[in-house]
Structures are given as structure tokens and as C-alpha cells.
């Protein structure tokens, strides 16, 4: 039974590259030059988007590229990924762009999850909810956030071009 094509998964596979091409870099995992092939696979077994990326870059920066830039009739809503497909900025951008990003996060105790109100208790999540969201900061920059997300959805700028800038600003 095939799916409707609205649920995708994205995963990267590192591969050795014997020559010096544009996207290849030294990979400590491969102990040689390599690159990562990021592939998006839909629940109907189509592979609507492939992208070679540097081994040193985090796959999360490119997850939204596949969801936004694919040239198919599919309409992805949910995308599963592994830990390399997760950052807070990518999760927020995916949600605002209308996608549900569902990462399988390894080493969960070392991650920080956020909440708006510290007075609300979540029985099974208390040990993970270490951060607090500042709504004032969100309100101050809301117009710019909407412009960035609209630019990604309109394909004016690729998510992989915009998200690294947001990751640097957030630090």
C-alpha cells in the first residue's frame, strides 16, 4: 500500500569521493575526502529530492530545501529525520513554513526544549524543559521572521541560504 506523498523522511549518507570536487571536504568519519548525499523519500516510495552537501555541514540546514524546492506535484506536510536533521532554528522555521519536522533525537538529556510558561508542568517532560521562550523577542522581530519564511516558501531564497545566517544571529 502506497502513501499519498505527504509524509517524507530525509537522511544523509556519507560517501568517499576520490577527487577534489566542489562539495567534497575532509570527513573525520571517512578519514578522507567525501560528501553527504541528502535524500528525501516520500511515503509512496518516490525520491523527489536529492542534494549533495559538504560532510562538515549539518543536514538540518538542508532539510527544508527538499520540502520547498522539489519540483513535483507532491505536497509534503511531515518530514522525519535523524539527529542530524534537528536544530531549534530549523524546527521553528519548518513549523512556520507549514511543515511538521519530526526528528529522532539521540542523547535527549543533553538537548534543551523550551516552554513559554514555567508555571505549567508537563509530567514526563520536566527534565528536558530547561529553556524558556521570550515572547517579547518574538514580537519584536515577527515582521522580519514572516518575511524570511515567505521568501523560503516563495522560493526567492533557499532555506539552506537563509538558515545558516539565522543560526549565527541566534547565538
**Residue pLDDT, tens place only, 72-82:** 999 999 999 99
Mean pLDDT along residues 134-140: 91
pLDDT (tens digit per residue) in 51-63: 988 888 888 889 9
Rounded to whole angstroms, how far apart are CA atoms 49 and 106? 25
Residue 12: closest CA among 31, 44, 43, 34: 34
Q: How many CA atoms lie within 13 A of 81 on its CB side?
A: 30
Instruction: Give the residue-averaged pLDDT of 143-169.
Output: 88
Query: What are the structural domains of the chain?
Result: 7-169 (3.30.420)
pLDDT at 1 over 70: no
Cβ atoms < 10 Å from Cβ of 128: 17
Compare 95 and 108 and report the one with higher pLDDT: 95
Q: How close are the terminal C-alpha atoms of the chain, in Å?
A: 45
Q: What is the per-residue pLDDT for 123? A: 85
Contact 114, 133 (CB under 8 A): yes
Long-range contact pairs involving 121-126 (C-beta distance under 8 Å, separation at least 24):
none
Range of lowest pLDDT (14-18, 130-134, 139-143): 14-18
Q: In the structure, what pLDDT confidence band is assigned to residue 169 with cuts at 50, 70 and 90?
A: low
- pTM exceeding the 0.85 threshold for the entire prediction: no
Amino acid at each position: 500500500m502506497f502513501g499519498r506523498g505527504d509524509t517524507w523522511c530525509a537522511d544523509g549518507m556519507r560517501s568517499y569521493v576520490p577527487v577534489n570536487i566542489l562539495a567534497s571536504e575532509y570527513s573525520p568519519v571517512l578519514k578522507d575526502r567525501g560528501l553527504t548525499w541528502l535524500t528525501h523519500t516520500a511515503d509512496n516510495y518516490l525520491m523527489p529530492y536529492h542534494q549533495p552537501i559538504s560532510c562538515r555541514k549539518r543536514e538540518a540546514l538542508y532539510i527544508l530545501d527538499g520540502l520547498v524546492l522539489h519540483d513535483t506535484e507532491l505536497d509534503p506536510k511531515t518530514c522525519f529525520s535523524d539527529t542530524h536533521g534537528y536544530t531549534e532554528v530549523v524546527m521553528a522555521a519548518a513549523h512556520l513554513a507549514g511543515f511538521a519536522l519530526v526528528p529522532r533525537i539521540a542523547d535527549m538529556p543533553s538537548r534543551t526544549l523550551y516552554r513559554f510558561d514555567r508555571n505549567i508542568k508537563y509530567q514526563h517532560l520536566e527534565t528536558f524543559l530547561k529553556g524558556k521562550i521570550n515572547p517579547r523577542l518574538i514580537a519584536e522581530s515577527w515582521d522580519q521572521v514572516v518575511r524570511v519564511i515567505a521568501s523560503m516558501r516563495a522560493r526567492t531564497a533557499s532555506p539552506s541560504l537563509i538558515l545558516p545566517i539565522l543560526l549565527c544571529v541566534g547565538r
